Amino acid sequence: MKVLLLNPPYRIKESNGYERFFVRSGSRWPYSEYKKINEPSIYRPFPFFLGYTAALLYKEGYKVEVIDGVALQFNEKNFLDMVLSKVYDFVIIEIAPFSIKNDILIAKKIKEKNIQTRVIAVGPFVSLLVEYIKENQGFDYCINGEYEFAVLNLLNEIVAGREVNIKGVIDLSKSLDKTIEHTDLIETLDNLPMPYREIFPWNERPSVEVYWDVFCQLRPAVQIHTSRGCPYRCYFCLWNQVLYKESKYRTFSVKYVVNEIEYIIKKFDAKEIYIDDDDFTINKNRVREICEEIIRRKLKIKWSCMCDAINLDEELIFRMAKSGCIGIKFGVESVEKNVLKEIGKPVNINKIKNVVKFCSKNGIRTHATFTFGLIGETKNSMKQTLTFAKSLDIDSVQFSIATPYPGTRFYNRVLNNKELKDFDWLNYDGSCKCVVSYINLSNKEIELFYKNVFKKWLIDKCMNLFWILRQLKIFFRTIVNQDIKYSLVFIKRILFKIAK
């Protein structure tokens, strides 16, 4: 049985040869990158859920193919031509709200090619879009929630000719129930085989180097997950609330994690591992054990991670650096106490400053994220957050506009309070649009503040000679270990953001 896994591209042409290039599978926050049409995207996350699904199906004996049109930078026409060049028994498509019309078109074209092909929709937005999908046809099934084992079980049932009755699997040939169930969560993550990276982003052109997080410093940099979920329950978090249904924090075992790192080093000659967890440092003892195991096995690898500053201390940072850590990302979001209380995020301003200091002392690059337009936000709180971002001795920063994705508590709250002002899915994009307005702060005011915030931060940083020298050191280390063309594109993109 032949199975095709798809991550379709989606682009919107803008003026003067620019486009909005949408990032979807693998990213916790669907958003667009504003760039020149012929330039590469600077952020290409690995589509983990498709990767684990591919590994499960391959292990079960299915012939698995994949086309990651986002990572390959294909346009919609070239992508569709490639998809239709062969006939498959099953096609799995990770869908997104902003591209649902295009996703349905792909499904319909596949069915026109071969009516026997079963087309399956997956991803965090299934419950939101299932009625629209059924109405417009094209798909045979939808899977709501974590979908790896559900896909395997569904295909096995269809192949065996049995009636499908799997929790979270929606048969679109039947009437929809009022309550759409979630799939059963994977309690033991070690039951998942390692992602089938060997065939991504396309069987005919496999390459781990295609996937890239701009924070990484060495190539090849391979992205991994070591856990799922987070106990902090921030009200804007999409995966935790919608995909995982606010389940408990789950981890791969230390042995599984280090085995995967060792395999990636040997198989792909990786120079850096990026641990793209929701929060890698939830359990400090577990982080210590992973560091100690890396050292015990004498793995010569640099690594970076996404975490929260609240769980870091000087001793842990030292251990992380000793085992090869060269980069740490963490979320701050805001410094206003009322805003932090509303979103449910534990942030200690003094601790953040100490964490940055400890990282710098141990040669670890730092990156912090900030979000504007959260519930309780005011003009003054946005200014305070920017002032703090300037004062923090971080190496890089990400500013975003708060986006209430459907299914989250954030969305329900602004909807009920009539603060949600836009229902066009194309505008649910934290890189450029704000869809909420508050009594004392409008969406236009948030967008205007956000427009110049990166420029203000960078100009302030460039007044610090020691900061500039440190960035030059990081830059030259990065450019030596990367594609020069890509590095030039990145610099050009930074200059463009300043000039906008």
Q: Residue 8 corresponds to which tokens in the numbers above?
A: 């379709």
Place of tokens 């760039």: 35
d(CA 163, CA 23): 36
Strand partners, 18: 36
| pLDDT the model gives residue 481 | 63
Place of tokens 């450019």: 479
Lowest mean pLDDT among 172-176, 221-225, 269-273, 286-290: 172-176
Residues 6+ apart with CB under 8 A from 338: 376, 381
Over range 198-214, report the average pLDDT. Answer: 95
- Look at residue 45 and tell me whether its pLDDT is greater than 90: yes
Residues 6+ apart with CB under 8 A from 341: 376
pLDDT in tens, 433-473: 999 999 999 999 999 999 999 999 999 999 999 999 888 88
Handedness of CA 147, 148, 149, 153 (dihedral sign): positive
3-class state of residue 189 by DSSP:
helix
- Look at residue 260 and tell me whether its pLDDT is greater than 90: yes
pLDDT in tens, 23-41: 999 998 888 999 999 888 8
| pLDDT the model gives residue 224 | 98
d(CA 4, CA 202): 10
The whole-chain average pLDDT of the chain stands at: 92
The DSSP annotation for 391-426 comes to HS--SEEEEEE----TTSHHHHHHHHTT-B----GG
Q: Residue 357 corresponds to which tokens in the numbers above?
A: 């200091």
Between β-strands 18-23 and 11-13, what pairing exists: parallel, antiparallel or unpaired? antiparallel
Instruction: Determine phi and psi for 76, rounding to 5 degrees.
Output: -60, -40
Q: Domains, the chain, ranges and CATH? A: 2-171 (3.40.50.280), 213-499 (3.80.30.20)
d(CA 167, CA 152): 13
Alpha helices in 330-452 (DSSP H): 337-343, 349-361, 379-391, 409-416, 443-451
d(CA 9, CA 103): 9
| pLDDT the model gives residue 485 | 59
| pLDDT the model gives residue 400 | 96
- Look at residue 497 and tell me whether its pLDDT is greater than 60: no
Over range 293-311, report the average pLDDT. Answer: 96
Q: What element of type H or E holds 475?
A: helix 465-480
- Nearest Cα residue to 124 out of 179, 168, 80: 168
- Look at residue 488 and tell me whether its pLDDT is greater than 90: no
The DSSP annotation for 244-277 comes to STT---EE--HHHHHHHHHHHHHHH--SEEEE--
d(CA 353, CA 208): 35
Over range 219-226, report the average pLDDT. Answer: 96
Q: What element of type H or E holds 287?
A: helix 284-296
- Nearest Cα residue to 41 out of 21, 26, 25, 27: 21
**Angle at which helices 100-113 and 126-136 cross, to 10°:** 50
3-class state of residue 218 by DSSP:
coil
d(CA 144, CA 393): 42
Amino acid at 223: Q
Give the Cβ contact number of residue 147 at 10 Å.
27
8 A C-beta contact, residue 364 and residue 325: yes
| pLDDT the model gives residue 248 | 86
Handedness of CA 297, 299, 303, 309 (dihedral sign): positive
Place of tokens 């991994």: 224
d(CA 25, CA 47): 5
End-to-end CA distance of the chain: 51
Residues 6+ apart with CB under 8 A from 39: 489, 492
| pLDDT the model gives residue 40 | 85
- Look at residue 499 and tell me whether its pLDDT is greater than 60: no
Strand partners, 367: 329, 396
pLDDT in tens, 100-117: 999 999 999 999 999 999
Residues 6+ apart with CB under 8 A from 454: 397, 399, 497, 498
| pLDDT the model gives residue 498 | 54
- Nearest Cα residue to 54 out of 118, 102, 7, 114: 7
- Look at residue 500 and tell me whether its pLDDT is greater than 80: no
